[in-house]
Amino acid sequence: MSNEEEESYTYLFKVVLIGDSGVGKSQLLTRYTKNDFQLSSKPTIGVELAHEDIEIDGRIIRAQIWDTAGQERYRAITSAYYRGALGAIIVYDITNTKSYENVELWIDELRQHTDDKIVLMLVGNKVDLRHLRAVEKETASTYATENKMHFVETSALNAMNVDVAFESTLRKIYEIVREQESDRNELENEQATMLSKKMNGEGSVCLKEDAGSDKVRLPCCS
């Protein structure tokens, strides 16, 4: 990647698409990144990668989206690709009860390879086949709420809520990253202020242990 390409975005967020084979993960990705839909799409073998840029608060966010294979025999391969993911979109087919029941298995696998702060989006795909619905929207919505996931139903065929699924995930990641940056900046400013006071003779400074970080400078109480 050239320096010009690297400078074209402010943040790079890795997001993985997971779920059983045949639920429409690749079709959702193609619809989102290319606004296209292929009825004859073939099952993903291994991992496919796509990029999409969106703007949030005047900043360009580049989504690096990994489309993982859903077949059971490929899970040992795809598990390595979870590493570093900030978001995950777990997809099931609303006409396929088994694909919904397996959501819990996918989440368990995800938890083994990612940070517990990862943003989770539960997606019920193929809502255009609502006449064949096997999983009620209310059931999935309640499950998502109980497990601290976002939820939306989509249709890759007619593009219903596809942008919502991806961009809501990216916006939530952005909020978390910005909050973490704000916390770091606040801590750095506090440390700089204390050091300045020390240099100006406005009180002694000692090192105290602070959970979750290296030693920080705080005013001595004694």
What is the residue-level pLDDT of the chain in tens, covering all 222 positions?
455 555 689 999 999 999 998 999 999 999 999 999 877 666 666 678 899 999 999 999 999 999 976 665 566 666 678 889 999 999 999 999 999 999 999 999 888 889 888 999 999 999 999 999 999 999 999 999 999 999 999 999 999 999 999 999 999 999 999 999 987 776 666 666 666 666 766 655 555 555 555 555 445 444
- Count of domains forming the chain: 1
Its pTM stands at: 0.79
Tell whether 23 is covered by a domain.
yes
Tell whether 193 is covered by a domain.
no
Q: Are 181 and 175 in contact (CB under 8 A)?
A: no
pLDDT for position 179: 93
Domain range for residue 16?
3-176
pLDDT for position 222: 46
Tell whether 165 is covered by a domain.
yes
Q: Which two tokens stand for residue 219?
A: 């005013």
Which residues, 6 or more positions from 22, have their beta carbon under 8 angstroms from its beta carbon? 43, 70, 93, 96, 99
Tell whether 213 is covered by a domain.
no
Tell whether 105 is covered by a domain.
yes
Which residues, 6 or more positions from 215, have their beta carbon under 8 angstroms from its beta carbon? 207, 208, 209
What CATH number corresponds to the domain at position 47? 3.40.50.300
Tell whether 18 is covered by a domain.
yes
pLDDT for position 47: 76
Tell whether 201 is covered by a domain.
no
Tell whether 192 is covered by a domain.
no
pLDDT for position 221: 47
Q: Which is it for the CA torsion 77, 78, 82, 83, positive or negative?
A: positive
